[in-house]
Amino acid sequence: MLSPLLSSASAKFCVQPPTFFIDTAPGRPALANARDALYDLRARSLPRSHRPGAPIVKTYKLNPTPGSASGLDFERDLNDEQRQVVTAGSGPLLVIAGAGTGKTHTLTYRVAYLVSKGVPPENILLLTFTNRAARAMTSRASALITTDVTRQWSGTFHSVANRILREHAPLLGYPKDYTIIDGEDAQTLMKSCIAEAGVGHLDRKLPRASMLTRLLSTTLNTGVSLADALFDRYPYFAHLATPIEKILHLYQIRKKEMGLMDFDDLLVGWHRLLTDFPDVRRHYASRFEHILVDEYQDTNHLQGAIVDLMASVHGNLMVVGDDCQSIYAFRGADYRNILEFPERYPDARQYRLEINYRSTPQILELANRSIRYNVHQFQKTLRADRPEGPMPAHIHLRDPNQQAAFVCQRILELVDEGTELNNIAVLYRSHHHSLELQLEMTRCEIPFVVRSGLRFFEQAHIKDALSYLRFLFNPRDELAFLRLVRQWYGIGNKRAQDIWLFLSSQPDALAALDDPALLDSLGGRAKTSWASASKLLARLRQERLATGPDQLLTTLLQSDFKDHIQSSYEQAENRIADLEQLANYAAQYESLDHLLGEISLLSGISGQEIGVGETFDDQFVCLSSVHQAKGLEWDAVFILSLSDGEFPHQSASQDQAQMEEERRLFYVATTRAKRDLHLCHPLIKTTRDRTPVVLRESPFVQELRDESHVEQRPLPWEDWKIEA
């Protein structure tokens, strides 16, 4: 039909009715003029004109060309469960995807399937929790079909929010060229707002800027009030709700005045556009014919609301996730988003992916039986695609030191049997559970990497505590002194240097801590803070003569140092537990110099060889908290400290919701293992007063043991007893 138009220098393009005349502009190719005319034709939507002689104009919409599905082979590439999800029709869809069941693979094929059926890629929105995951799925989908799928909108909630806000930010009072600030910049601005808020007399008790930014983030993402957030997460600051609210309000004002947005503002702004501006909501909700959300169980209250608003026109919303792997409540994730999805979308169809390609039947039997004790969940049963393997092992150990010795010896055996170091992981509920193991692996020269953060002695709060001991041992240690003194309110870099210059000029720095001349040289808050700090240091100096390093750490934890931990660090309870474990560890050393010397040596050694004579330069055993291990897998997995009060955490014992989240953590930990799973149970731990305490089995182990006894079912593990 277009050939007559393209073959003539002056042509007519006819659509009957009406007739359109397209005159070729001088010097332009006929094809370019034809395209201009077609684009103009599709872009205009004008009513019939009432002027005499005016032409009748209609909009002619071309149907999208379906992408070629030549690369899609559903029979070959998908199992029956996955195929049902990929080829599901329109409407709301809930996909419960168990661990290791090919969730990402299924989502990729769903995108390719939609495009192959004629859905324009730019009308698909894919929301993930990492941009890397979005790029990987989009690239793989493009490889399956001939259409360029990269035109679809995909990425994290924050990246999509930024894309939308760049167009509509002025509606919210922001410029289009607003600046996104990172966490460090946000803390700098928060510090300025603390000073500007006029609450200086409260500085000794106020949370640090970093904690205030996290507190504000919690209220925005979860929808809870400031008072409730303080009560639930920071009860020791609840009485300061009024000044804290003043600071946070000022912080919000200053950001807007300077055209700044932090990461939370992106989500809040996106939500405001959808709720306060109906035209904007209709525009985007109409544009995206299909919305797909990955890891839906990890969305928070605000993200869940955004998804519902974006799907308010077409209703073609597919959410994919596993409620049994919802383990990030401490970050604001709300597993009710996925559990209550059928209530918000009564016509939603549900699908389950239950064929597991990762773990052996023996491991899945244990995981399935454990998670069934959770009341609030979508029931499912993982089924193994892999062949039979060894039974999981439940190992009874004397204490954390023997636990560390066992894990190291067993790692060496696994390597000798052919398992690579990179395919071995040690998982734990809390970071301090790995203290003895890190030390033992260093001694055994087994290389390891700590995925859950820094090595134990490299953590900031551990270094904060050790700085006191280092200064007591060596009063000439300027670095240790500057670190400890800056922990006190009102003492910044300048004041810290002034105090150090005075002390270092004295014959006995420790004796000069409370020198009146030093106190008189300080002013305001610095003077008050240094008076408290010098008293603490004087007490520690006196105790050092009669007690061991563990008692020094205990005294430190009972002092104002605890306020520093609570005001400076997120999850202060876990940090304090780490410090208590450090005190327990220090109990085996009679002198301060012996303890500090051992820590210094161990901190500087990473271990380059494994004790079977072969070097593995690029291989490391992975040490990780269970939270950081989600989504990963290894051939062999060790789970540490499966004792009551350790895993699950002792704070969960009286709260069903917390206990269910802890059981989900256990479920995630067990399903990281492909072949070998070791459940470690230390029988004894030593308290700070050196009293041995007998530890019962973890409730997650005990409930399965009781079930097996009552129902006459075999245990889902072998019990191993250690002979020393």
- What are the binding residues? 97-104
**190: part of which helix (H) or strand (E)?**
helix 183-196
Residue with tokens 């409407």: 91
Compute CA 242 distance to the chain's CA centroid, rounded to the nearest angstrom.
30
Q: In whole angstroms, what is the distance from residue 431 CA to residue 571 CA?
A: 12
Distance CA 308, CA 275 (A): 11
Question: How far are the Cα atoms of 198, 235, 244, 308 from residue 238, in angstroms, in the given order?
Answer: 19, 5, 9, 33
Question: What are the residues whose beta carbons fall under 8 Å from the beta carbon of 46, sequence distance 6 or more?
Answer: 57
Contact 653, 346 (CB under 8 A): no
Q: Which amino acid is at 106?
A: T
In angstroms, rounded to a whole number, what is the distance separating the alpha carbons of residues 230 and 237?
Answer: 7
Using DSSP's 3-state secondary structure scheme, residue 427 falls into: strand
Helix, strand, coil abundance in the chain, percent, nearest 5:
50, 15, 35
Q: Please list the residues that pair with 14 across neighbouring strands.
A: 19
* Distance, CA of 133 to chain centre: 14
Tell me the one-letter amino acid at 196.
E
Residue ranges for the known binding site for ATP are 97-104
Q: What is the 8-class DSSP label of residue 425? A: E
**Residue-wise DSSP of 310-353:** HTTTT--EEEEE-GGG---GGGTB-THHHHTHHHH-TT-EEEEE
The pair of structure tokens assigned to 42 is 């599709």
Separation in Å, CA 636 to CA 121, 213, 371, 674? 41, 39, 21, 7
Retrieve residue 398's tokens. 């004397």
Question: Which string of DSSP letters, residue by residue, matches 82-141?
Answer: HHHHHT--SS-EEEEE-TTS-HHHHHHHHHHHHHHTT--GGGEEEEES-HHHHHHHHHHH
d(CA 605, CA 460): 19
Strands (E), 340-428: 349-353, 355-356, 383-384, 393-397, 424-428
Query: Could you tell me which residues come within 8 angstroms of residue 349 by beta carbon, excluding any fewer than 6 positions away?
Result: 88, 91, 92, 93, 94
CA-CA distance, 90 to 111, in Å (whole number)?
13
> Does residue 555 sit in helix, strand or coil?
helix
Which of 382, 379, 373, 388 has its CA nearest to residue 353? 382
Question: Could you tell me if 43 and 32 are in contact, meaning their C-beta atoms sit under 8 angstroms apart?
Answer: no
Instruction: Tokens for 21, please give them.
Output: 């005349």
**If DSSP codes are grouped into helix, strand and coil, which group holds residue 396?**
strand
Determine the residue type at 21. Answer: F
Residue 652: φ, ψ to 5°: -90, -5
